[in-house]
Structures are given as structure tokens and as C-alpha cells.
A and B are shown apart, each in its own frame.
Chain A
């Protein structure tokens, strides 16, 4: 549907993209981005909103009507938290294959970066509510002196806290959020929300999350500790931690990859050398999760091994 007022706007080719809300009143979302204050109460009916967060050569663009309601950043945060909780509550069981790796990056004497896959593992994981989990190690390749030096523990929780930690009701107020960007993708609006700790004394990261406001789900997140470290004795910084999600069966958003790059302190390297292990200045951690199956009706018998092990 195209509104007649919008037609006229097109004819005069205004130098911005104009969005028209036909469904809900505008709730002053733009004020959050440093724009002039918007009226907090507006009359119902069609209204214009000037969109300036999408960097586009607007003169050349077609005008598109967006019927989705404009929401404030608080509303987005609240809905994301609800969406994540809903997503979590709807999952009864999961199975996936988890590939994990530690890669050492060491700039050689010539300056070229030498890489070495220090450790790698593949594990098949089954989880079922409320707290059942079974892991089947498929294979491990390790260059550590002690084979126990690296492992990835998998818990029974399906809430993917690593993705939504900043949006959880308990932690949300410790972060400052702002809308960094909006992207129109087909019939969706993808919000890029930047967040940073309100206090630099809080041991929390800075980052950004991509939120699909059609389902209010986080589809990707990046965070980092670049200007300070969560554990200064051992890590200089965490340059980047990227978490990617993918959709399974057209409805379940699940983690597909985690990549993190960590800079190690000279003290940590010295201590490792004392333990006869050699640490490089940079370590990459990779987790790739594939073959996702959700709510396939896993049998309780599958988890009997874990129960027996607990009793022992």
C-alpha cells in the first residue's frame, strides 16, 4: 500500500528517506540518537518520521513505506529480553556438533605471523530440559603437554547467555545503549545497538548487537575489552569476540559460531614458560556449532550415562 501523501513527497524528491508509520504512533525513538527532542504524545493516524540513521544516497532511492511501528530503545531492550526468554522457554531439547579450537598467533622474527592450531576438539552434544546433558567426545587433537589443559564444558542451559548478557533485566541497567544504525532488509528492520558499561570500573565489555525487530531476537553480537582487561594479570585485552547466530527450521535462532582474539600479557607467558608450556602473544579461540536439531523429542534414555556418572 502506498499513501497519497507519500506520493507527493516522492514527486518533490526530498533529500531524505521518509518513513511513514500507519500502524502505531511514534514513540520518539530518534531522541535517543541525539536528534532534537520529539513530542512524547502525538495524535493517532499517519505521521512522518525523518530517518537519518541510514546512510544512503537518498536522492536516488525509491521511497518505501514501512508499516512496522517505531519503538524506543527501552522498548527494544525490553522486547529483546522477552524475546530471548520466550525463545529459551520454547526449546525442549537440542542436539548439535561442536567444534572448538585454540589457535596460536605468533609474529615471527621476520614479522610474518606464524599460526599454529594448538588444540582442537569435536563433540556431539545432546541437551534436554530441565537439566539433562550428554556430551560424546568425537575426537581431540592437542599439542599441550597435558591433554587436560584445554576443554570446553557444556551446560544444560539453552539460554545462550553469551549472546544476551547485556540485555538481561539484571544487567541491562549497567550498560548504556544507543542505536548505532538501522538497516532495512526486505520487510525487516535490523537495529544495530551499541552498548558500553555505564561505569568504567565495572568489569563489563563494550560491544554491539544486531537485533532483528521482526522477532526481537539478537542475530549477531560483537564485544570486546580493548581499553581495559577483565583479568589484567593474564590478558592485555580481548580484541574481539564475535558471536554469530543462525536460524534452524525457520524459527529457532541458535549460536553458530564464536570467535575470540585475546592478547596475552608477558607475565602470563612467563608463567606458562615456567610450566614448560609456550604461550604466544595472541590466542584465537573458535567455536563452530553445526548440525543443529531442536525439539526432536530426545529420549530420556539417552542421558542415562550422565545420571550413572553422577551417582558414582
Chain B
């Protein structure tokens, strides 16, 4: 009983104690408490990185800072770009081609890109003179290599003047072609069906990157002509397997062109639309891409592409499918029609396949699994009309599905990816199984924006 009385007594005392008397009012915190915590974190950072990294020799620095504004106000020396690069290619319509390019200049003067090469078999010279000058880019001066390259959505706002005169070879259906126009496959097996034609002319354009948008508009004046097959040599293939080079229509024109692009990285979305020429040379093409997250380890990407050309458009302006970027179980050059519609679905995993299989490999070789499905249709408007919208014929659909590995190179730009894959036909008109590899971007059909 005594113990119980004691407990109740203490409890009563606790409850009866005047609040202010018993309360431990927190002492006002020292004003520098937060800074002490940050200092402690900073000290642990110093320990982690080591003295050699964190310490600076500040001898004499204060006097330099004091006189910073007294220094002669001369502009800093212009940081120039000077790059020499090789031009190497091989194609059945040009044979081995060798040459070099030289890019130089600064943001102040603009950048000049000179390139020359020689196609030995047909004895053809190829050359190009390009000039790029940034006319408007608010803010500080750009790093030199950023200034030397075209802008990109997501980087700074800028307006560029682009001028180019060139005699060059251009792939058919440029948007689906490989960066080397099928040169590697042509040299090894001779079976690459990518066709090319010659274009000689001048391009002048203004390109504006602002916020999430790109607008490029300009004029192209050029002559175009076909290139015949000049060699059937390949390292491993047979001469009779080398396909013909599609014959381009001879053409000479001056025409306007425009490109509109949009990209939101936080939406994983990009879209582009281009319009070339008018009348019988009109060519309109659009593509969009959207990626969606499936958990933390997978993403599915959907791309849609559509195109319409004038019914009488030259062969080199018409639409094709086939090749690495569109229904890859088909060879390049399927179609040559005035309308195109295509869809591509890709499922990509985040896993490092080589690591998961415990295969020894350099750490920079990160291969991620990838599955894809392509479905496309190319057709001519049955009535031969110059229309944008035309109903695709049901029997024209062709598909391909496959899988492989994606290797995100991250250079020269963050979304550049190499893909190695095996594709199988879907349906009776889907072609044949193909193995290939290609270098492209996250959204292959949208391209660089």
C-alpha cells in the first residue's frame, strides 16, 4: 500500500507541478548550429577526397583578386576548333572512296567545314564547303565544341546560319539509312541494298532552337542524277549477289524546305515534321516517338512515321521501307511509292547482359537486352492524286520482329546507341531473317533534334 501511495503521490506531484516550473524550456539554439553540421559534413568530405584534391595554393591570390578589375580589359583569346578527320567509304556505285575533312573556326568567326574525297573506280571527286555561324545565343559564350556542332533541343536557345555547297552522294530514303550508307555491309558481303544518288548544289538555311522547339527553314538549289553500279567487289560475297543501285531521276530544282521539331525529355517524347519542295517535288514526312517506363528496369518505346509525296515526285523523293531502321527483315529499297506509314515498338531492359551471364568484358561494354516489332506499309495512291492522306491497301502491310542488344555509346551525344539484332519476318511478305547492327538514336525515326 505504501508503495502504491508513493506512486500516486509522485504522479500527483508531477501533474500538480506548475507547468513553467517543471518544464525544461529549450534553450535558444545557437545561431550557427546548422553551419556546424555542414562544417562536419564538409570535413568528412575532405577526408574522403584527401588533402591533395581539396587544397589550393592561394599564395598571392588575394592581391590578384584585388587587382582583377584593374587588369587591362582585353577580351580573352578566342578558343578555336581545329579538327582533321578522315573520309572513308565503299559502295558498289562509287567504289572505294578516300579523303579528308578539316573543321576549324571559333564562335566569333563561325566554323568552316571543308571536305574532299575521291571515288577511285568511277574517278569521281566529292567535295563540300560548309559554314556555320551562330547569329544569336543569349548568355555566355558557348564551349567551343558545342558551338562547332548544330544546336540541340534542351541545350541553349540559339539561331544558326547554315551554308553549304557540296557535290556528294546521298542515300535513298535518307531517314532510314545507315550513317555509312551501307558501306560496311557492301565491303564485307556485297549484299547491302542501300542505294545512293548524286546531288550537287547549294543549301542555305536558318535554324532556330528555342525552348523545346526546333525550326529550320531554307532553300536548296541542286542537280541530282543517278549513279550506276561500278564495282561488284566484296571481301566475302559473290559478284552475282551484289544488287543493282536504284536509278534516280535526273532533276534540277530550286526549292524551299522547312523542318519543325519538338522534344520534351521529361515526357520522353519527340516529334518532327519536314516539308521539302512544292508541286511535283513536294515531300512531307512526320515522325513521333514516345517512351514509357515499365517499372524501374524496362522501357517501351513507340514510334510512328508517316509520309506523303507528290504522285509524280522523282524516285529519290519517294518512300521506302527495309533496312536496319524500318522492317529490318526486308532489304533496303522496298517501295519507292508516294505514301508511307510505319510503326515501331521496342522494349528495352536495363540489365547488363554480359554481367548477368558472368562473362568477362570491359566495363565500358554494357549490352542491354532489346526486343522490337516493326509494321509498315508503302503504297501509291490508287487514283494517282497529290494528297496527304490516302488509305493504305490491306495487302501491303509488312512486319518484322526480333531481338538483340543495345549499347548506349553516349558519344558524340548522350542518346547515341548502337544496336545489334536479329530480325525475323512477320507474315508472308516480311522478307527473310537478317542479322545486322546499326548506330542510331533513342528515337531512330525522329532523329537528331
Residues of A within 8 A of B (CB): 1-2, 4, 7-8, 11, 62, 64-65, 97, 99, 101, 103, 105, 115, 117, 120, 122, 124, 131, 133, 135-139, 148, 151, 153-157, 170-171, 173-174, 183, 185-188, 190, 197-201, 203, 210, 212, 219-220, 228-234, 236, 240, 242, 244, 246-247, 257, 259, 261, 265-267, 284, 286, 288, 291, 302, 304-306, 308-310, 312
Contacts and interface: CB of A to CB of B under 8 A. Distances in A.
Interface string B49-73: 1101110111001001100110101
B26 A312 contact: no
23 contacts: A64-B26, A97-B65, A101-B56, A120-B56, A124-B64, A124-B68, A131-B138, A154-B140, A171-B266, A183-B37, A185-B29, A186-B31, A197-B296, A200-B297, A219-B38, A229-B366, A236-B363, A242-B49, A244-B45, A246-B38, A247-B35, A257-B42, A291-B65
Given A131-B139, A267-B362, A261 B410 contact: no
A309 B364 contact: no
A103 B410 CA distance: 24
B49 A173 contact: no
A141 to B, nearest CB: 9
Contact of A135 (B25, B69, B76): B76
A280 to B, nearest CB: 12
B23 interface: yes
Contacts of B31: 186
B23 A7 contact: yes
B33 interface: yes
B414 A199 contact: no
Contacts of A228: 352, 366
Nearest to A285: B53
B385 interface: no
Contacts of A244: 38, 41-42, 45
B14 A11 contact: yes
A237 to B, nearest CB: 8
B42 A103 contact: no
A210 B39 CA distance: 13
B359 interface: no
A185 B65 contact: no
Nearest to B108: A312
Q: Which DSSP category, helix, strand, loop or mixed, fits chain A's interface? A: mixed
A228 B50 CA distance: 24
A124 B64 CA distance: 9
B404 to A, nearest CB: 16
Contacts of A188: 29, 33-34
A131 B142 CA distance: 13
Contacts of B45: 242, 244, 257, 259
Contacts of B366: 228-229, 232
B108 A201 contact: no
Interface residues of B, number: 71
The list of the 8 closest CB pairs from A to B, nearest first, reads: A186-B29, A200-B350, A309-B75, A186-B33, A2-B23, A115-B52, A231-B410, A124-B68
Contacts of B33: 185-186, 188
Contacts, number: 193
B6 interface: no
B48 interface: yes
Q: Which DSSP category, helix, strand, loop or mixed, fits chain B's interface? A: loop
Given A199-B296, A200-B297, A220-B41, A233 B64 contact: no
Contacts of B65: 97, 124, 138, 291
Contact of B411 (A124, A135, A234, A302): A234
B37 A190 contact: yes
A92 B337 CA distance: 59
A229 to B, nearest CB: 7
A7 B75 CA distance: 69
B53 A155 contact: no
A288 B54 CA distance: 8
Contacts of B38: 210, 219-220, 244, 246
A199 B73 contact: no
Contacts of B427: none
Contacts of A246: 38
A219 B53 CA distance: 22
B15 interface: yes
A121 to B, nearest CB: 10
Nearest to B68: A124
Contact of B364 (A200, A267, A286, A312): A267
B79 interface: yes
Contacts of A124: 64-65, 68
Contacts of B15: 8
A219 B139 CA distance: 26
Contacts of B108: 309, 312
B367 to A, nearest CB: 10
Contact of A198 (B75, B296, B365): B296
B49 A284 contact: yes
Nearest to A64: B26
Nearest to A301: B73
Given A155-B139, A183-B37, A230-B410, A122 B53 contact: no
B204 to A, nearest CB: 24
A2 B23 CA distance: 7
A133 B68 contact: no
B210 interface: no
B439 interface: no
Given A8-B14, A101-B56, A259-B45, A201 B37 contact: no
B348 interface: yes
B29 A157 contact: no
B34 A219 contact: yes
B83 interface: no
